[in-house]
Amino acid sequence: MTDGGAELVLVSDTYLRDHPGAPPVGRIHGWGYRPVGLGLREKHCRAPNYPYVLPHMRAAALDTLHRTQVSRNDIDAF
pLDDT reported for residue 39:
79
Q: Read off the pLDDT of residues 4-33 as tens digits, 9 standing for 90 and up.
A: 666 778 888 899 899 999 877 777 777 777
Statement: the pTM of the whole predicted model exceeds 0.95: no
Q: Which amino acid is present at 13?
A: D
Length of the chain counted residue by residue: 78
Burial class (CB in 10 A: 0-12, 13-18, 19+), 63: middle
**DSSP string of the chain, one letter each residue:** --SS--------HHHHHH-TTS---------------S-HHHHHHS-TTSSSSSHHHHHHHHHHHHHHT--GGG-S--
Mean of pLDDT values over 45-55: 74
